[in-house]
Amino acid sequence: QAQLVESGGGSVQAGGSLRLSCAASGFTYPRDFLGWFRQAPGKEREGVAAVYPRGDSTYYADSVKGRFTISQDNAKNTLYLQMNSLKPEDTAMYYCAASVGLVRVPLLGKEYQYWGQGTQVTVSS
């Protein structure tokens, strides 16, 4: 059974860094896209970053460009999100997601079929 498990969340002060990890297992078919999403209380889910595993094309929300980096370790079946220069507005539950089908809009959550349970990131000012 396909599964995604996130880790690495925590509490940091503004300007700090965190690296999120997402371990994938049980996928029978190649994943077409991998992505990170976040949702803050009272807000809609937001696409943060996405990567096309077989081509290394990456996509970022404007709000995180230049601060966040998505990467993957295929040997470990692990997706990462390096987050630098964190801001209080980055506070949210962060989820990784995988798609095994055609993705037209990489930062749109409904394009993804598999989701992790989430990891909390809290940034204090």
Closest CA to 57 of 90, 28, 32: 32
How many percent of the chain have pLDDT more than 90? 79
The number of residues making up the chain comes to 125
CB atoms inside a 10 Å sphere around CB 9: 19
Provide mean pLDDT across the span 83-108: 95
Better pLDDT: 53 or 52 = 52
Residue 6 has pLDDT above 90, yes or no: yes
What's the 3-state SS for the chain?
Answer: CCEEEEECCEEEECCCCEEEEEEEECCCCCCCEEEEEEECCCCCCEEEEEEECCCCEEEECCCCCCCEEEEEEHHHCEEEEEECCCCHHHCEEEEEEEECCCCCCCCCHHHCCEECCCEEEEEEC
pLDDT at res. 28? 73
Confidence band for 13, pLDDT divided at 50, 70 and 90:
very high
Q: What are the backbone dihedrals phi and psi of residue 53, each rounded to the nearest 5 degrees, phi first?
A: -55, -35
pLDDT given for residue 80 in this prediction = 96
Query: What local confidence, expressed as pLDDT, does residue 68 receive?
Result: 98
pLDDT for the residue numbered 56: 72
